[in-house]
Chains A and B, each alone.
Chain A
């Protein structure tokens, strides 16, 4: 019993509870008419779709900048890259990687400016990040309407200019990752191998990075800024680097998301994406000051699992469409739960 308690404390009771709840949902699924294989397929898909957003939060948490509520800026960079890629007519693999390459300069620029801003407001990063993100999205809303895009797939046919709210990538690079080495079992289950491999690659690279000199310096800046400064590390420089990396990963994240989802979503869509990523990493056991790869993996899986299963099971059970309400309650409830944990002062 003593060791059970330790396992619980080590792994984190919240995660265990949510895991058990998820298992319960999976068990209940066939009883209410929800196909388990379809659900599993969904969960894996959504895992791959979202994991980069969660990964993007890690650098800034480690460097002490807090939860990146301004992830929208990275997402916008990715949207710019994706729309440019479609504008240029790039398809297939060149389209996907083209989008990544095209978004990089934007992401680096945005990240750099954003990082400089955050350095000036140490201690208040999170709220400011939120509003900077919102303002950025709104600014882009104006931009999407007036930038000179011309590809007929993307613009409003009637007006002749201005980008549509959602742009389908069906003819371009939809599922380019998902379908790569995909494994199909049965009529509904399709494991998006390519997407998962890409995600694992990204996670591995991040893990490696955190062990490089720069990576450890970044962590030092977050956990003990005075010691870092004394060791000659430039606190501001590390923080800026972490913000740039975070923004870059945000851009990668949205492009991966789009190839899986099938659509480029502009205008107000980036407003809520940071929150789901933050919910995921918090439920994975991360705190405002410390996050690990395990947090990312476990958190994304649990969170996306919950978001997939809870609405579908409850809908089938109650024979009514309450998915939106359920999603709101579950995802925000999780963030609240994580935010109200007493953070133990550990080494």
Chain B
């Protein structure tokens, strides 16, 4: 490329375009990440730890317009959601109450205490730490145990080797 009078101008414009593309790329990735992130919300109808808020005798809850779930006092169920902000509709004795909750991006599983949400006690949504589960064997794909002790000397017989020249 021989240097012409236009070169620096062309180069600058090219650089700007490329920078803009990178920004768009990063921005798009961030956007889909935030809007696509899946979470599991555990819906709790239990007394709060300090006893300040009592469980409701019986309630029906629906998250983001999903199937309503009945919960008696002390019960727990779960709802799978996508994204950060959610609409929670709780029906107690025929009365509908609607609340909005936001879910932190980094947590997979969250615990939503419905009594707390109704009472307005913050925080109603807390990250959920599953108890230590025994190491999952190969067949179970859905375990949420945090760390299963990995044997550094184990010979992996599991992965099947595909044929290739």
Do the two shown chains form a genuine complex with each other?
yes
Give chain A's interface residues, CB within 8 Å of chain B: 268, 271-272, 275-276, 279, 319-321, 324, 328, 331-332, 335
- Give the nearest-CB partner of B155 in chain A: A321
A272 near B164 (CB under 8 angstroms)? Answer: yes
- Give the nearest-CB partner of B165 in chain A: A275
B65 at the interface (CB under 8 A from A): no
Q: Which residues of B contact A320 (CB under 8 A)?
A: 155-156
Most chain-A Cβ atoms within 10 A of its Cβ — which of B155, B163, B164, B165?
A: B165
B165 near A272 (CB under 8 angstroms)? Answer: yes
Q: Which 6 A-B pairs have the closest CB atoms?
A: A275-B165, A324-B161, A272-B165, A328-B164, A321-B155, A331-B165
Looking at chain B's contact residues, the main secondary structure is loop
> Complex Cα distance A320/B161, Å?
15
A-B residue pairs in contact (CB < 8 Å), sample of 17: A272-B163, A272-B164, A272-B165, A276-B165, A279-B165, A319-B153, A320-B155, A320-B156, A321-B155, A321-B156, A324-B161, A328-B164, A328-B165, A331-B165, A332-B164, A332-B165, A335-B165
> Complex Cα distance A276/B155, Å?
27
CB distance from A49 to the nearest CB of B (A): 16
CB distance from A232 to the nearest CB of B (A): 40
| Interface residues on chain B, size class | under 10
In the complex where A319-B153, A321-B155 touch, is A268 in contact with B165 (Cβ < 8 A)?
A: no
Looking at chain A's contact residues, the main secondary structure is helix
> Complex Cα distance A268/B164, Å?
11
> Complex Cα distance A306/B69, Å?
63
B153 near A271 (CB under 8 angstroms)? Answer: no
> Complex Cα distance A272/B156, Å?
24
> Complex Cα distance A244/B4, Å?
63
CB-contacts of B123-165 with A (<8 A) = 153, 155-156, 161, 163-165
> Complex Cα distance A345/B164, Å?
33
> Complex Cα distance A321/B153, Å?
11
> Complex Cα distance A328/B153, Å?
24
Most chain-A Cβ atoms within 10 A of its Cβ — which of B153, B155, B163, B164?
A: B164
Q: Which residues of B contact A319 (CB under 8 A)?
A: 153
Q: Which residues of A contact B163 (CB under 8 A)?
A: 268, 271-272
Q: Which residues of A contact B156 (CB under 8 A)?
A: 320-321
> Complex Cα distance A321/B155, Å?
7
